[in-house]
């Protein structure tokens, strides 16, 4: 006769195949309780995972809002008149004339000194991606950029990526 291990309760095992095929009083109650407990566990697990996804959605919405806000600001700054070619990596200074018209200058407010009749609005660096970084945020931007570059370096050293690059070279 085959020996089958069938859990009856948490602490008790059935090692008898004859007993495994027979129902006793209390088996149905234990089965119902096990099903209820399982459903509760499954529900709680699903709710926990959905909660994590909900938090991620909120975070992504916040990031999307920041991206769109920055894009609007960058677009607005690109529309400001300028009498020179703006080069990424350089710092430019934003002024407002008494008439309310804004303009870019290569001359800082310190260089203008007392002779400046225009209102100084701020200084910005034009980035390679054509976004604008306020001068007071350059350190933060630089640290963020260095972190991204270090991550990129680590990814470049991953063997799977090197295999993909080699496959691309072979196809060329």
Residue range 112-143, pLDDT digits in tens: 888 889 999 999 999 999 999 999 999 998 89
Do residue 93 and residue 69 come from a single domain? no
The answer as to whether 169 is a domain residue is: no
- Domain around 70: 39-79
The answer as to whether 163 is a domain residue is: no
Do residue 59 and residue 102 come from a single domain? no
Q: What is the sign of the dihedral through the CA atoms of 122, 127, 129 and 134?
A: negative
CA distance readout (Å), 108 to 11, 31, 69, 79, 148:
80, 79, 26, 20, 30
| End residue of a domain, out of 19, 53, 79 | 79
Do residue 65 and residue 90 come from a single domain? no
The answer as to whether 106 is a domain residue is: yes
95 bridge partner residues:
103, 120
- Please, what is the average pLDDT of the chain? 84
The answer as to whether 7 is a domain residue is: no
Do residue 53 and residue 101 come from a single domain? no
Q: Is the pLDDT of residue 14 over 90?
A: no
Do residue 50 and residue 109 come from a single domain? no
The answer as to whether 26 is a domain residue is: no
The answer as to whether 28 is a domain residue is: no
pLDDT (0 to 100) of residue 8: 55
Do residue 72 and residue 45 come from a single domain? yes
Which residues have CB under 8 Å from 127's CB, separation 6+? Answer: 88, 89, 133, 141
Number of domains in the chain: 2
CA distance readout (Å), 7 to 24, 110, 161:
14, 83, 48
pLDDT band at 32 (very low <50, low <70, confident <90, very high): confident
pLDDT band at 29 (very low <50, low <70, confident <90, very high): confident
Do residue 58 and residue 104 come from a single domain? no
Do residue 109 and residue 119 come from a single domain? yes
Do residue 127 and residue 139 come from a single domain? yes
Do residue 131 and residue 84 come from a single domain? yes
Q: Is the pLDDT of residue 28 over 80?
A: no
The answer as to whether 125 is a domain residue is: yes
Q: Is the pLDDT of residue 144 over 80?
A: yes
> Nearest to residue 122, comparing CAs of 158, 155, 73?
73
The answer as to whether 13 is a domain residue is: no
pLDDT (0 to 100) of residue 80: 97
Burial zone of 20 (CB within 10 Å; 0-12 exposed, 13-18 middle, 19+ buried): middle
């Amino acid at each position: 006769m085959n020996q089958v291990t069938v859990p009856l309760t948490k602490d008790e095992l059935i090692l008898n195949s004859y007993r495994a095929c027979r129902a006793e009083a209390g088996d149905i109650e234990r089965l119902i309780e096990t099903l209820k407990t399982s459903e509760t566990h499954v529900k709680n697990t699903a709710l926990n995972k959905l909660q994590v996804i909900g938090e991620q959605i909120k975070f992504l919405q916040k990031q999307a809002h920041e991206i769109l806000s920055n894009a609007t600001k960058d677009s607005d700054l690109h529309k400001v008149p300028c009498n020179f070619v703006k080069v990424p990596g350089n710092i430019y200074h934003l002024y407002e004339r008494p008439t309310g018209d804004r303009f870019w200058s290569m001359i800082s407010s310190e260089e203008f000194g007392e002779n400046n009749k225009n209102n100084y609005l701020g200084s910005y660096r034009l980035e390679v991606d054509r976004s604008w970084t306020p001068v007071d945020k350059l350190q933060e931007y630089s640290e963020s950029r260095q972190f991204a570059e270090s991550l990129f370096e680590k990814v470049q050293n991953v063997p799977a990526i090197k295999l993909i690059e080699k496959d691309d070279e072979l196809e060329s």
